[in-house]
Amino acid sequence: MSREELDALRKCPIDWISETGDEEAANSVLQYDWYHCLNEHAVSDEQVTDLDLSFDQELTPEQLRQLIANLKLRECERTRCHKERAGRLAGLSFLQPSAHGKHFIAGAEKVYLQERSRGPISYFYKDYKSADLRAAFWSWFFRFFSPVGSLEAYEEMLTSGTEENASYYAQLWQRLIEPQTKAGSLRVCFDCLQPVGASAGEETSLICYDIDLSTRMAHAYPVSKSKAEQIMGNGPIFPIDDLNC
């Protein structure tokens, strides 16, 4: 029994830094969800009643043995817990507009796309690369959930009756982790600051990501201001300029 074995057992099963391409993931709502699941399925022994997630506290050899034994017994439960919550955002594939097909017409003029967008379909001006769409999404994600800056803040967000639980970011998080949305989709919007396409007959800088939580496929499309506000409800529409690089 060693501290290295203890660290291995508490390590998140999803490498969120690799998933998102951002070091910020290590101290984000994604990592705090893992700590939440770790606590939910970690310790029941009376001799170790307060689990310090940094594991910096001094433990006797017997306490270390008991803690490792408890963590091993509940390894499957906490891993499944995390994968069914924040883990739904792992392995996302971001479809290039031309690959999706619906919202892109190669070689079309902007004026033509604006007129055509008066119908039910919006259109991109540019065939954005999957990597760029991915980077923009995660930039938005970390900004949207930036108020959740600690495990304590994460737990307050989940606690009914708290101010944090009623916040715009808590409402979206609940939609993500609720079991009934497992086979559904999650839609979010943000402002790209420069025109990305046409919607409702007008040029727009607003973009929507429609994420299928069952297939882990995400496709994006331009939206009007009124549609973006409808999708985001009481949540802010943040400016994200990654697609302008």
d(CA 221, CA 233): 18
pLDDT per position as a tens digit, 56-78: 567 777 777 777 777 776 788 88
Entry pTM: 0.89
pLDDT at residue number 56:
58
3-class DSSP state for residue 198?
Answer: strand
> E-strand spans in 70-184?
93-94, 123-124
pLDDT per position as a tens digit, 108-143: 999 999 999 999 999 999 999 999 999 999 999 999
d(CA 153, CA 84): 21
Q: Supply the DSSP symbol for 192.
A: -
